[in-house]
């Protein structure tokens, strides 16, 4: 009898310990809560961040879905950013990077994408175009914290059919996931090329309202294997002509579509807590 009691005690202790660890590491995995603001809280946030009442519909749409369309970029800015990525940038294939598209490192295979961090390249006027003040205020009200620019990067994703490539399971961004960064953030995305349908590789986002976050970045897998996307009405696809813009919460389940028809070029801006940006500046990252 005593052995049975000790066995039960050890089992309960192990379960409690496991649950305690899971609660810290995987606060995000399936345990994210729906973020719901009362009308009173919304009004307080509007007042705090100086939001115009006309922004209320955009704010509540973003609160509900984690996604909202924002004003488009002008043609001049679209052309400038596309020129920057064509003339500069780093090619990447399954974690291997090079400045040469035909680098032997890629073993004769077309790279996944080309990227260029333009954070330090753009002047203040350009950044204002990318991040309208009212949109930034909505993002800050959504997270209830002051945000700054963490990075501005241009990505050119090359058209291909992933099913024909080995190790296709390694393409994390093309699978359903959340951003496992360890801090809250909001992302803005502008299309620099036309994205008309699923074959152009649009951003897709699950509009359940659930947010997945982790307290310890890099631990655990950020992929959402269990995410139910069988209901097409619960998934938003960001399509549109070049210049179209959107803001989304990367703590929502999302994925970057794999284009099989045309190369897709976008610019992504991450807004993160001011403390994160201060740390990056101190270490010379930006």
Tell me the CB-side half-sphere exposure of residue 285, using CA atoms within 13 A. 12
The 254-256 sheet, strands edge to edge: 235-238, 203-206, 254-256
- Per-residue pLDDT, 128: 84
Alpha helices (H) along 102-241:
124-130, 133-143
260, 177 contact by CB (below 8 A): no
CA-nearest of 56, 64, 59 to 206 is 64
- Per-residue pLDDT, 60: 83
pLDDT higher than 50, residue 190? yes
Tens digit of pLDDT for each residue in 197-256?
A: 988 989 999 886 577 766 555 555 577 766 777 777 789 999 999 999 999 999 888 888
Q: Tell which wins on pLDDT, 32 or 151.
A: 151
pLDDT band at 30; cut points 50, 70, 90: very low
Q: Under CATH, to which class is 32-282 assigned? A: mainly beta
pLDDT band at 21; cut points 50, 70, 90: very low
Give the whole-angstrom CA distance, residue 82 versus residue 91.
15
- Per-residue pLDDT, 194: 96
- DSSP one-letter code for 73: P
Contacts of 227 (CB under 8 A, 6+ apart): 176, 206, 253
State the average pLDDT over residues 109-133. 88
Give the whole-angstrom CA distance, residue 86 versus residue 192.
12
State the average pLDDT over residues 118-125. 90
Task: Quote the mean pLDDT of the chain.
Answer: 75
139, 147 contact by CB (below 8 A): yes
CA gyration radius, the chain: 21
Q: Tell which wins on pLDDT, 201 or 33.
A: 201
């Amino acid at each position: 009898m005593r052995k049975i009691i000790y066995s039960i005690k050890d089992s309960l202790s192990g379960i409690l310990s496991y649950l305690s660890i899971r609660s810290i590491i995987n606060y995000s995995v399936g345990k994210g809560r729906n973020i719901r603001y009362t009308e009173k809280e919304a009004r307080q946030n509007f007042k705090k961040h100086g939001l115009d009442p006309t922004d209320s519909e955009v704010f509540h749409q973003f609160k509900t879905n984690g996604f909202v369309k924002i004003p488009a970029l002008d043609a001049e800015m679209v052309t400038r950013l596309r020129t920057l990525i064509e003339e500069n940038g780093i090619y990447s294939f399954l974690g291997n990077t090079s400045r040469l598209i035909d680098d032997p490192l890629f073993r004769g295979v077309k790279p996944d994408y080309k990227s260029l961090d333009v954070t330090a390249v753009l002047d203040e006027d350009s950044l204002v175009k990318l991040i309208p003040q009212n949109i930034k205020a909505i993002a800050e009200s959504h997270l209830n914290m002051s945000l700054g620019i963490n990075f501005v990067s241009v990505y050119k994703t090359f058209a291909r059919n992933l099913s024909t490539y080995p190790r296709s399971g390694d393409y994390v961004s093309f699978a359903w996931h959340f951003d496992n960064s360890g801090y809250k953030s909001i992302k803005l995305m502008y299309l620099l090329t036309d994205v008309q349908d699923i074959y152009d590789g649009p951003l897709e986002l699950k509009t359940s309202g659930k947010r997945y976050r982790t307290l310890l970045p890099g631990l655990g897998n950020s992929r959402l294997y269990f995410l139910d996307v069988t209901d097409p009405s619960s998934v938003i696809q960001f399509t549109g002509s070049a210049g179209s813009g959107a803001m989304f919460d990367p703590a929502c389940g999302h994925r970057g579509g794999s284009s099989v028809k045309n190369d897709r070029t976008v610019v992504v801006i991450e807004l993160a807590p001011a403390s994160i940006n201060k740390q990056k500046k101190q270490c010379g990252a930006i």
